Amino acid sequence: MAGDLKWQRGGAGVALVALALSAQAHAQQAEEQATDSLRVSVGATYADGRYGQTARTEIVTVPVSVKYTRSRFSVKVTTAYVHLRGPGTLLDGTGSGASGSGGSSGSGSGVASEPEIETEPGDDSSGGGNGSGGGTGSGSGEGEGEGGGTGSGTGTGTGTGTGGPVVPLSRRNRGGLGDTTVTLAYSLPLGDHFTFEPRSRVKLPTASSRKGIGTGKVDVTLAADLVGTFGGTTLYASARRRFLGRTARFPVHDGWGFGAGASHALGPVLTLGADYDWLQSATPGRGPISEGTVWVSARLSRQLRLQAYGGTGFSSRSADTIGGLTLVWRP
C-alpha cells in the first residue's frame, strides 16, 4: 500500500514536471512568434557598362529601405535617389531589386543591372523614321540577413526604325527620386538546416519616366529562395518570375531569373560571401544578364553592420563594374 502511494506521488511529480516544461515551451514559442524586429539600411551603389551598346551608361543609386519582421512574416519598403549619366533609361529605378538574394543568408549584393537604351528616329535623304524602344528589366538581390547587401535593378533594350537610321536618345546627366518597392516575405523552416522563403515584390512607379529614371508602370515579381544553414556557412538558391508593365514605349516581356550564393562567418565580426545572378532578357532575341559579386560584412557594433561589395558581368548585356556600400541599423 505504501509502495503504491509512493509510486502515485512519483508519477504525479513527473506529470507536473512534464506539464511545466510543456507550458514553458509553449510560452517560449509564443514569445518567439510575437517578437518584432526593425531594420533600416542605407547604401550607395555604382554600376557602369555599355550593355551591348556603343555609349556607356553610369548608374549611381542611394537606396533606403525599412524592413519590419514579426515572427516569420516580413514587409520591406525601399526607395532610392538615382543619378544616371548616359543614354540609358531604367526599367526598375530603385537601386535595389527583387531577388536572387538568398533571403536570410545575408547575401545579395547588387547583381543583374541593365539600362534600357531608348532610341529616336534619325534623318537621311529618304526621310525620317519611327523608332521604338524595347527593353528588359532586372531585380538584384538585397540580402535579408546580417549582411544586408544592395544593388541596382534596371532594364535594357534597343529601338528599331523604318525610313531612316535609329540613334540613341542624347540623354546625359539627370537624377531624382527612383521607384518605390514593397516586398512581402514568409520564412518557412524545413527541418533543422533549411528554410523556404517565398516573396512577392511590387514596384510602384514613383520615378520620373520623363527623365528616364523609370517606366511609369507597375511591375510585379514573384520569387522564392531555398536557404541552407550549416554552422557558420549559408548556401542559397533562388528563382523568380517577373511580370512587367507594358507600354508602346517599353514593349517588354515577362521572364525568369535565377540566383545562387554562399556566405561564411569568419567569426562574430566578419562574414564573407559571393553571389551569382542570371536574368532572362525582356526583349526577344537579346541575350541574358549574367553577373556576379563578392562581398564582406563587418559588425561595427550590436546595432550597426557595414557591407562592401564589388562585381562584374559575364555577358555583353551586363554591367562591366559593380560596387557599393550598405550600412544596416537594427534598433
Give the pLDDT confidence of 181-204 residue by residue, as tens digits. 999 999 999 999 999 999 999 999
Nearest-5° Cα angle at 54, 53 to 57: 70
Closest to 155 (Cα-Cα) out of 116, 203, 205: 116
Cα 156 to Cα 40, 51, 153, 309, distances in angstroms: 30, 8, 11, 23
Can you read off the three cell numbers belonging to residue 159? 529601338
Sorted by sequence, the CB contacts under 8 Å of residue 88 that are 6+ apart come out as: 51, 57, 59, 115, 116, 117, 154, 156, 171, 212
Mean pLDDT calculated for residue range 309-320: 91
Note whether 325 and 43 are within 8 A (CB): yes
In order of their start, the domains of the chain are: 36-329 (2.40.160.40)
Could you report the per-residue pLDDT of 228-272, keeping only the tens digit for each? Answer: 999 999 999 999 999 988 877 778 889 999 999 999 999 999 999
What pLDDT, on a 0 to 100 scale, did the predictor assign at position 196? Answer: 97
For the segment 281-296, what is each residue's pLDDT rounded down to a tens digit?
877 777 888 999 999 9
The residue count of the chain comes to 331
The pLDDT score that the predictor gives to residue 36 is 87
The rounded distance, in Å, linking the Cα atoms of 61 and 283 is 24
CB 147 within 8 A of CB 131: no
Q: Which position has the higher pLDDT, 32 or 325?
A: 325
Distances (CA, A) of 152 to 69, 138, 291, 324: 23, 8, 12, 10
| HSE, side-chain direction, 13 A CA sphere, residue 22 | 6
Q: What is the pTM of this model?
A: 0.73
Higher-confidence residue of 37 and 148: namely 37
